[in-house]
Amino acid sequence: MSDYERQLLARARELADLGETAETVTAILGGARRAGLDPAALGGLVGAVTALGVDGVAVYAAGRGPGARYASEGEFLSALADAEDDIAEQFKAAGQLHDQVVTALDSALEDLDAGRAMPAGDPCDGCHGRRAAAIADAETRVRFCEAAIEILEPLGGQLRHALARLRAVPADRGETYESVYTLIRRCGAMPHQGRWITGQEAVTG
């Protein structure tokens, strides 16, 4: 009877493994730093990787060494959008699973109450064993559900915060580079080593 609740717990543990997602977002941060974006435009990315469990040393090191960098603004925003979609999907899945677990927990608690209320005759015709088995099974199901909830509730908070910080990146970037975009719209020239703000390689001269 506890197989379903066991599967729910296994799925919660699977969703809570954010290593690949954290690695992807950290790589985006590193590529953006190598591309020369102002740190003020990357606060959302730093917040996202931190929310995903990346330690401070790894956050600091992202982009500090050799590696790939974004050659254009469009490439950066595309990677950012893909990561946002992935995290949004994980957040949705965690929420749906949480609802399933809560429903399963309610059912297990009802069965636990029913098991405890089962009559035990004297002399016993096996009723004591049936009662004990029903209680033990319900208690196991309750433990699996409670363990899953202990995973899913903080996971939901992690993903919600990471998603919010990622969604803030375009606004942070726009605010940081507002004067630059104004200059470009007025046909102004970027300074030496202006990087890819126009989608091209650095301007020389």
User: What percent of the chain shows pLDDT beyond 70?
Assistant: 81
The two structure tokens encoding residue 89? 């999907």
Model confidence over 53-88: pLDDT tens digits?
999 999 999 999 888 888 888 888 899 999 999 999
Q: Which stretch, 16-30, 120-134, 166-180, has highest mean pLDDT? A: 16-30
Indicate the average pLDDT of the chain.
85
pLDDT at 66: 86
Q: What is the mean pLDDT of residues 8-37?
A: 95
CA distance 100 to 107: 11
Q: What is the mean pLDDT of residues 111-120?
A: 87
Higher pLDDT, 152 or 200: 152
Q: What is the mean pLDDT of residues 157-162?
A: 97
Higher pLDDT, 64 or 90: 90
Cβ–Cβ < 8 Å for 8, 40: no
Model confidence over 171-197: pLDDT tens digits?
877 676 655 555 445 555 444 444 544
Cβ–Cβ < 8 Å for 37, 4: no
Cβ–Cβ < 8 Å for 177, 197: yes
